[in-house]
Chain A
Amino acid sequence: KNEVEQSPQNLTAQEGEFITINCSYSVGISALHWLQQHPGGGIVSLFMLSSGKKKHGRLIATINIQEKHSSLHITASHPRDSAVYICAAVTQGGSEKLVFGKGTKLTVNP
């Protein structure tokens, strides 16, 4: 079992739908990143959070440390949101490293 699991693996939505992508982790973490990777390969950091909730435009990220779970929500989805969304956990323990989920491929149809 991977240390960081994402679901779903693939997600197809219609424009305007509310999207939720989930990330669960089994290791102790000090922070969690949500990344967006477009088809060309470029990666953009969306959020870095260690507790609670963050919002940026139509994107919302939440994390529940006790339940070892984070979610990324996209409200009013748009075709330009089509990308792979990746969560990455920053492990604790004095030798920090990032452990990545396998990504969720989101396709938003017009």
Chain B
Amino acid sequence: EAGVTQSPTHLIKTRGQQVTLRCSPISGHTSVYWYQQALGLGLQFLLWYDEGEERNRGNFPPRFSGRQFPNYSSELNVNALELEDSALYLCASSWLTGGLGEQYFGPGTRLTVT
């Protein structure tokens, strides 16, 4: 069974640009979670999608957005990039909604903003 996949693996952008990160969940999983891990900081909850709907978001500005497609894959979009957006972005999927199921993490996308 294929695990959670994320693309791209690494990305370098400049301030003010926009970026799109992608996540494919494990087959059969309908919930997708996005997390940010900035260097030296802990994991921060970004967004939670389930059955195509945004269910909850963390304390991030509106320039962080995303969506979930009918096949349950998901995109995270970040507009007007700032230096502090440099981080590892992790996606996780679960077959149970609401954080109540085991989460399977992808390898992450490392974003560097210069």
Contact = CB atoms under 8 A, between A and B. Distances in A.
B108 A97 contact: no
Interface stretch (B16-24, B61-69, B73-81, B94-102): B94-102
A97 B58 CA distance: 8
A44 B105 CA distance: 7
Contacts of A44: 105
B42 A90 contact: no
B44 interface: yes
Contacts, number: 62
Contact of B103 (A42, A45, A103): A45
Interface residues of A, number: 23
Interface string A77-110: 0000000001010100001111111110000000
A35 B105 CA distance: 10
B56 A96 contact: yes
Given A43-B105, A97-B56, 16 more contacts: A30-B99, A30-B100, A33-B103, A41-B107, A42-B107, A45-B103, A48-B101, A86-B43, A95-B56, A96-B98, A96-B100, A97-B48, A97-B99, A98-B33, A98-B45, A101-B42
10 contacts: A30-B98, A33-B99, A43-B90, A45-B103, A48-B101, A86-B43, A96-B98, A97-B58, A99-B45, A103-B42
